[in-house]
């Protein structure tokens, strides 16, 4: 491998940034079990270094923005495949977010996982995930990106199954990996098409490809994105993935991995044709609405958040499909903060409740919001952080969610146009999500923090090390960090990454009033703690998955039968016939041939008085040789 690029500072910085989490994983894995308490500390320090480097990278590479730093990976069929870093504003900011959230999750995990027996493995995989995620974000080549894409799926599999002694966790991890793999196959097929069309998979040059396959290739890649970003109908793995440790859910299944699909969507935007964009928009809209409805009817605190993630991801995908790319990307960043905050908040609640349970004999499900309540007073800091993040999710003014949502809504209304068309239904979906989101998150907050407590448990506020990340993420979700004036929407992030946040003031007014109406409605619906029948879109998808799996198993039992009954049966039949034939010839040999020879012999004896010994043994072999000679002779003649 020869370096075809000067080892510039930027390149070295990016390389170090990428390898730090990998080294962190290696150090963790090699830590002796006796010193497993060291793993959280070392890996958090590595992540801190990584975060600092990502800031440096952001500052340094401003002059080189949009350039790819490549070196040769391998050559096949004379075509050189390069790997390297594509550092543009999208990836640079994403790197910042990934390393920051990862750092906060590492810190949170020190407290949350303190009593876990497999710290070494947990922090090792966490580091490995961060490595894969950073690689995915920075890769300049689709094949390399796919490389990391699958590694991200692998680490997600390992982390969901961290408590693999629990059956549910084990099967959730398998399910997540298989559904992701389904998407990956489609992604791979998309890569085959692009390779066949151009023999070049560099992201920068994607826009130059012209091929009749382009539309199909785009849809294939998007199906890969659908699995990773939990889009309909491939989202049913995400709620189950909540079996993993909560910090993992925050990092992987809320902030980064599931967002990777949306990120990729923005990266490869040039290859999407009009037709594939329609497909993307429709899928996104269906997902956004289904996810929001799903969140409304769940009782498990983590599953509510998982459905909310599905809904928000659908919202982003829909936005990008309609061309509101900048809004979608901004929302992706904001979502990473507030959703990670919500998950870590939920983790704090679960942790506190578990700790309280340790002292009693109470064995209720602490993740069921019906069993929670009144936590506002017992966990005041967590409450504060959680509510701020919830407000950002609902899109209340003065929060980050508000800015990006307004951008998307106004862009979409321009896209939908004033004349009635199918686009209006998409717009309707977007508005319904805007209304449903405050409703379900209000329900969650109400049940958890305000409603009368349903248990005798006396939870205590969680340790400082777990409070810091939640508060940090909550701060990241309020608007004053991003905008000096949330009405004029001159955003700091906007200036930083040359976005121009914008919104139609009518739309802003309408959306704010809808959100407020929705919150009021929520208050009246939920204040008495009413429950609702379960309306669970996952059940239907699970059912269809079961059908596919059952069918595969049926098929495999058929092929197994085919092997043992038919193919082997045939072979056995042939050998049976062979052996029977051998018996027959053996019998004929003994009775007929030997008889003949014996007869000849006795005749010879009678005539010539030859000795007996020749007759029995040797003449037989003479005969054999004569036959062989004859066969060889015939063969010669034939040619």
Complex with other proteins: residue 485 or 559, whichever CB lies closer: 559
Considering only residues 573 through 612, tell me which ones interact with other proteins, judged by CB under 8 A.
Answer: 575
Helix (H/G/I), strand (E/B), else coil: 397: coil
Applying CB under 8 A, does 150 fall inside the site for other proteins?
Answer: yes
Applying CB under 8 A, does 41 fall inside the site for other proteins?
A: no
Report angle CA 167, 239, 408 to the nearest 5 degrees.
Answer: 165
Tell me the backbone φ, ψ of residue 85, rounded to 5 degrees. -110, 130
Tokens of 94: 């994403």
Q: How many CB atoms are located within 10 Å of the residue 381 CB?
A: 18
Query: Looking at beta carbons only, is 185 or 398 nearer to other proteins?
Result: 185
Instruction: Report DSSP state, residue 493.
Output: H
Tell me: does residue 177 bind other proteins (CB under 8 A). yes
Q: Which of 76, 581, 603, 610 binds other proteins (CB under 8 A)?
A: 76
Is residue 370 within 8 Å of 454, Cβ to Cβ? yes
Which residue lies nearer to other proteins by CB, 243 or 406? 243
Q: Which tokens is 119 given? A: 């710290």
Helix (H) and strand (E) counts for the chain?
25, 2
* Closest approach of other proteins to the CB of residue 573, in Å: 13
Q: Per rule CB under 8 A, is residue 22 in the interface with other proteins?
A: no
- Return the structure tokens found at 274: 């009009």
Alpha-carbon gap, residue 122 to 169, rounded angstroms: 14
- In the three-class reduction of DSSP (H, G, I as helix; E, B as strand; rest coil), residue 329 is classed as helix
* Residue 210 interacts with other proteins (CB under 8 A): yes or no: no
Where in 275-294 is the site for other proteins (CB under 8 A)?
A: none
97 vs 152, beta carbon nearer other proteins: 152
Query: In the complex with other proteins, which residue's Cβ is closer, 75 or 621?
Result: 75
d(CA 488, CA 590): 108
Selected binder of other proteins within 553, 576, 583, 633 (CB under 8 A) = 553
What per-residue string of b and e applies to 134-173 under the rule 16 or more CB within 10 Å gives b?
bbbbbbbbbbbbbbbbbbbbbbbbbbbbbbeeeeebeebb
Q: Which two tokens stand for residue 300?
A: 């498990």
CB atoms within 10 A of CB 266: 17
Residue 550 or 612 with smaller CB distance to other proteins: 550
**Among residues 192 and 596, whose Cβ is nearest to other proteins?**
192
Among 164, 354, 423, 502, binds other proteins (CB under 8 A): 164
Number of residues forming the site for other proteins (CB under 8 A): 50
Residue 181 in the binding site for other proteins (CB under 8 A) = yes
Which of residues 27 and 392 has its CB atom nearest to other proteins in the complex? 27
- 143 counts as binding other proteins under rule CB under 8 A: yes
Maximal CA-CA distance, the chain? 130
Please tell me whether the peptide bond between 637 and the residue prior to it is cis, using omega within 30 degrees of 0: no
User: Which two tokens mark 98?
Assistant: 């990934």
48 binds other proteins per the rule CB under 8 A: no
Q: Residue written as tokens 């929060």?
A: 399
116 binding other proteins? (CB under 8 A) = no
One residue of 35, 37, 74, 576 binding other proteins per CB under 8 A: 74
416: β partners:
none
Counting Cα atoms < 13 Å in the Cβ hemisphere of 29 gives: 11
* Residue 174 binds other proteins, judged by CB under 8 A: yes
Q: Which positions from 481 to 510 touch other proteins by CB under 8 A, shown as an x/- string? A: ------------------------------
The verdict on 193 binding other proteins (CB under 8 A) reads: yes
420 is an interface residue for other proteins by CB under 8 A:
no
Q: How big is the CA angle at 402 (ends 397 and 403), to the nearest 5 degrees?
A: 115
Question: Which helix (DSSP H) or strand (DSSP E) does residue 556 occupy?
Answer: helix 537-561
Name the minimum Å distance from CB 563 to other proteins.
6
Site mask for other proteins (CB under 8 A), range 554-573, x = bound: -xxx-xx--x---xx--x--
Binder to other proteins among 52, 114, 189, 204 (CB under 8 A)? Answer: 189
> Measured from the CB atom, is 175 or 378 closer to other proteins?
175
Task: Report in angstroms how near the CB of residue 149 gets to other proteins at its nearest.
Answer: 8
Alpha-carbon span 280 to 314, nearest angstrom: 10
CA 400, chain centre distance (Å)? 25
Q: Is 634 in the site for other proteins (CB under 8 A)?
A: no
Contact footprint for other proteins (CB under 8 A): 1, 72-78, 143, 146-148, 150-151, 154, 157, 161, 164-165, 167, 170-171, 174, 177-178, 181-182, 184-185, 188-189, 191-193, 195-196, 552-553, 555-557, 559-560, 563, 567-568, 571, 575, 636, 639
């Amino acid at each position: 491998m020869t370096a075809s690029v000067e080892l510039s500072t930027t390149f070295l910085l990016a390389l170090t940034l990428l390898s730090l989490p990998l080294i962190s994983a290696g150090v963790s894995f090699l830590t002796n079990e006796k010193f497993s308490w060291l793993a959280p500390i070392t890996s958090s320090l590595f992540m801190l270094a990584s975060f600092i480097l990502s800031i440096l990278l952001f500052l340094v590479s401003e002059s080189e923005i949009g350039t790819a730093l490549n070196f040769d990976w391998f050559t096949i069929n004379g075509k050189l495949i390069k790997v390297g870093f594509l550092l543009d504003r999208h990836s640079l900011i994403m790197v910042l977010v990934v390393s920051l959230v990862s750092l906060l999750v590492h810190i949170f995990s020190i407290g949350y996982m303190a009593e876990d027996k497999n710290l070494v493995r947990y922090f090792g995989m966490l580091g490995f995930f961060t490595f894969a995620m950073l690689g995915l974000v920075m890769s300049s080549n689709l094949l390399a990106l796919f490389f990391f894409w699958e590694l991200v799926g692998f680490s997600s599999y390992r982390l969901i199954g961290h408590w693999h002694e629990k059956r549910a966790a084990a099967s959730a991890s398998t399910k997540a990996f298989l559904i992701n793999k389904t998407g990956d196959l489609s992604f791979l097929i998309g890569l085959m098409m692009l390779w066949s069309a151009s023999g070049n998979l560099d992201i920068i040059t994607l826009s130059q490809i012209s091929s009749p396959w382009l539309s199909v290739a785009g849809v294939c890649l998007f199906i890969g994105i659908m699995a990773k970003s939990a889009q309909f109908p491939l989202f049913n793995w995400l709620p189950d993935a909540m079996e993993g440790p909560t910090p993992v859910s925050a990092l992987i299944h809320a902030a980064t991995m599931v967002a990777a699909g949306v990120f990729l969507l923005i990266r490869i935007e040039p290859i999407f044709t009009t037709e594939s964009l329609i497909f993307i928009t429709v899928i996104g809209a269906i997902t956004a609405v289904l996810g929001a409805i799903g969140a409304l009817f769940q009782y498990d605190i983590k599953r509510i958040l998982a459905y909310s993630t599905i809904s928000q991801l659908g919202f982003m995908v829909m936005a990008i499909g309609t061309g509101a790319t900048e809004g979608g990307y901004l929302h992706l960043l904001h979502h990473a903060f507030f959703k990670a905050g919500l998950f870590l908040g939920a983790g704090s609640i679960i942790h506190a409740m578990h700790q309280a349970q340790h002292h009693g004999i109470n064995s209720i499900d602490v993740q069921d919001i019906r069993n929670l309540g009144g936590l506002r007073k017992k966990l005041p800091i967590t409450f504060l952080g959680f509510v701020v993040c919830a407000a950002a999710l609902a899109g209340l003014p003065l929060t980050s969610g508000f800015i990006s949502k307004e951008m998307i809504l106004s862009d979409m209304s321009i896209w939908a146009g004033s004349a009635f068309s199918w686009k209006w239904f998409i717009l309707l979906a977007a508005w319904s999500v805007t209304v449903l989101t405050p409703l379900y998150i209000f329900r969650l907050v109400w049940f958890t923090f305000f409603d009368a407590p349903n248990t005798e448990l006396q939870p205590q506020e969680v340790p400082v090390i777990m409070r810091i990340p939640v508060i940090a993420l909550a701060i990241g979700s309020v608007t004053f960090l991003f905008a000096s004036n949330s009405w004029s929407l001159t955003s700091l992030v906007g200036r930083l990454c040359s976005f121009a946040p914008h919104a139609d003031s009518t739309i802003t007014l309408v959306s704010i009033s809808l959100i407020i109406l929705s919150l009021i409605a929520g208050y009246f619906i939920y204040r008495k703690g009413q429950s609702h029948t379960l309306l669970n879109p996952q059940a239907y998808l699970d059912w269809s998955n079961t059908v596919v799996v059952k069918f595969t198993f049926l098929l495999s039992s058929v092929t197994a039968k085919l092997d043992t009954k038919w193919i082997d049966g045939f072979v056995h039949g042939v050998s049976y016939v062979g052996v029977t034939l051998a018996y027959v010839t053996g019998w004929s040999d003994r009775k007929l041939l030997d008889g003949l020879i014996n007869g000849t012999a006795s005749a010879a004896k009678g005539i010539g008085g030859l000795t007996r010994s020749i007759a029995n043994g040797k003449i037989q072999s003479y005969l054999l040789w004569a036959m062989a000679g004859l066969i060889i002779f015939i063969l010669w003649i034939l040619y």
